[in-house]
Amino acid sequence: MNVVDLIEKKKHGQALSHEELVYFAQGAAKGTIPDYQLAALLMAVWFNGMTPEETRDLTLAMVHTGDVADLSGIGGIGVDKHSTGGVGDTTTLVVAPLSAACGAKVAKMSGRGLGHTGGTLDKIESIPGASVDIPMDRFIRQVREIGVAVIGQTADLAPADKALYALRDVTGTVDCLPLIVSSIMSKKIASGAGAIVLDVKTGSGAIMHDLESSIELARAMVEVGRLADRPTLALVTGMEQPLGTHVGNALEVKEAIDILAGRAGGRLKEVSLRLGAMMLVACGTARDELSAREALEKALASGAGLEKLRQMIAAQGGDARVCDDTSLLPQAERKIPVRAEKAGYVVSMDAAKIGLASQRLGAGRLSKADAIDPAVGLVMNVELGDRIEAGQPLVTLYANEKGADEAEALVREGIVIDEKPAQPPKLIYAVVRPEGVERF
Ligand code: URA
Ligand code: CA
């Protein structure tokens, strides 16, 4: 087989065969196809797309470039949840312990922050002592014993994706449906999930900005899950503004704890409960979403969800006392309010810019080797639809040494104030199941 033939074929809009896609995935994983040819093929896919069969075959070919985790030892159907990436999007830290408190087996392999979006691993590591670097046998034992563990992807999980993602990042080919589907689903399938619940974001802070593309992405991932025998459901949720009020690693851990302790609510709590209900149904712990929701609300009210988080943090070497005293989390030195220059209504936000503001303060990486500062980030003081007065704080920056001026500028660009109010966006747009799309 010759990779130039594959590039020519895709350039002319033809479908690649199963064998050709295996060749492509293996060549990417092993480094036997040079980057310039991989990049040309990725761009041809960007322009000409892939059929559902090609997307499935590429996904499975990527799965088999590395290890496939065997989670048969966890004592139940493992359920994973995955977000396509957002700002203030810390549903995992709420819903993983909460679902475990209701009997689910949550065996989750998470990622690091990427661009303007945060990563669950970085958030967990902001808890003093907590580790996400846990060997497979301990991971399985932890899930069996306490029902929940969140770790980093093992080194040899879908190595084709590692190579292709790095290339996509620098060749303008990230925003391509079959490439996103195969990237996310190959990692989910290889990580051993028995059932998968996806949170597909839509809006200014999401990988897909418009609703129809987001629903299309959700449908394609649900379809690949079905074809791969991993029951997959997707929730399409709004990312027109940060999901939670807190953005940044320790700050997001604090908000998750506040929700589990019953002190906070809002959008993050609502999306977490919706995802949790789908997870309990997907793994067979609840018979329908209504009874699942009741069970989750009960685990929240009784403190059972917070107790699961305590157990998870302790099992992963962290200081579980943060669950009772969030001041034990790393704290930033300075709190700087960014005040409104005029009165009016908050009519739109660029959630990506708000995520970048937090990154510039040190909460995210500009390059792979950067260390992150667990304490920094920002707290949203307003949300879409709010009426505000001049001088009122829009956002409070939590800063240490760096980035405050740049972050302030990004926040100002990212929040649009107008004299006329605008309808705030929806939070939940659709549920995508193998049988079809339900819109709200
Ligand atoms: N997240 C991934 O893991 N892959 C993508 O392609 C996009 C988001
Ligand atoms: Ca994430």
Closest C-alpha to ligand 1, atom 2:
184
Amino acid occupying residue 74 = I
**Contact criterion met (CB below 8 Å) for 417 and 386:** no
Does the C-beta of 233 come closer than 6 Å to ligand 1? no
In 154-248, where does DSSP find H-type helix? 159-169, 177-190, 211-227
Alpha carbons 83 and 95: distance in angstroms, whole number:
12
Q: What is the pLDDT of residues 308-330, one digit of tens each?
A: 999 999 999 999 999 999 999 99
**Which one from 80, 89, 122, 161 is the annotated catalytic residue?**
161
The whole-number average pLDDT for the span 366-386 is: 92
pLDDT > 90 fraction of the chain, expressed in percent and rounded: 89
Phi, psi of 76 (to 5 degrees): 160, -175
User: Given ligand 1 and candidates 45, 80, 81, 174, which is best to mutate, with the most ligand atoms within 8 Å of its CB?
Assistant: 174
> How far does Cα 331 stand from its chain's mean position?
24
User: Given ligand 1 and candidates 58, 84, 109, which is best to mutate, with the most ligand atoms within 8 Å of its CB?
Assistant: 84
Distance (Å) from CA 249 to ligand 2 centroid: 12
Amino acid 169: pLDDT: 83
Q: What is the pLDDT of residues 181-212, one digit of tens each?
A: 999 999 999 999 999 999 999 999 998 899 99
Q: What is the pLDDT of residues 74-127, one digit of tens each?
A: 988 889 999 998 999 999 999 999 999 999 999 998 877 777 887 899 999 999
Instruction: Grade residue 73 by pLDDT with cuts at 50, 70 and 90.
Output: very high
Q: From residue 36, how far is each of 7, 143, 168, 281 by CA, in Å?
A: 11, 42, 11, 44
In 3-state terms, what secondary structure has residue 108? Answer: strand
Going 181 to 187 to 191 to 197, the CA torsion angle's sign is negative
Alpha carbons 376 and 359: distance in angstroms, whole number:
9
Does the C-beta of 142 come closer than 6 Å to ligand 1? no
pTM: 0.94
Name the DSSP class of 230: -
Amino acid 141: pLDDT: 96
Q: What is the pLDDT of residues 256-306, one digit of tens each?
A: 999 999 999 999 999 999 999 999 999 999 999 999 999 999 999 999 999
Amino acid 417: pLDDT: 97
Distance (Å) from CA 111 to ligand 2 centroid: 6
**Contact criterion met (CB below 8 Å) for 108 and 149:** yes
What's the N-to-C CA distance of the chain in angstroms? 48
Whole-angstrom Cα Rg for the chain: 21
**Which one from 83, 99, 183, 204 is the annotated catalytic residue?**
183
Does the C-beta of 214 come closer than 6 Å to ligand 1? no
Alpha carbons 39 and 16: distance in angstroms, whole number:
16
Closest C-alpha to ligand 1, atom 5:
180
Phi, psi of 152 (to 5 degrees): -80, 160
Q: Which atom of ligand 1 sits closest to the CA of residue 184? A: 3
Amino acid 371: pLDDT: 86
**Contact criterion met (CB below 8 Å) for 96 and 147:** no
Tell me, yes or no, if 324 is annotated catalytic: no
Tokens of 248: 């940044």
- Judged against a pLDDT cut of 80, whether residue 176 lies above it is answered with yes
Does the C-beta of 117 come closer than 6 Å to ligand 1? no
- Judged against a pLDDT cut of 80, whether residue 434 lies above it is answered with yes
Instruction: Grade residue 370 by pLDDT with cuts at 50, 70 and 90.
Output: confident
Does the C-beta of 180 come closer than 6 Å to ligand 1? yes
Q: Which atom of ligand 1 sits closest to the CA of residue 168? A: 6
Type and span of the H or E element at 110? strand 105-110
Whose CA is closest to 123, among 153, 89, 84?
A: 89
Q: What is the pLDDT of residues 215-257, one digit of tens each?
A: 999 999 999 999 989 999 999 999 999 999 999 999 999 999 9
How does the average pLDDT of the chain come out, rounded?
A: 95
The whole-number average pLDDT for the span 394-422 is: 97
Distance (Å) from CA 85 to ligand 1 centroid: 8
Amino acid 365: pLDDT: 84
Alpha carbons 271 and 279: distance in angstroms, whole number:
12
Going 107 to 111 to 112 to 115, the CA torsion angle's sign is negative
Tell me, yes or no, if 80 is annotated catalytic: no
**Strand blocks (E) in 241-386:** 246-247, 334-339, 344-349, 377-380
- 18-30 vs 3-11: helix crossing angle, rounded to 10: 120
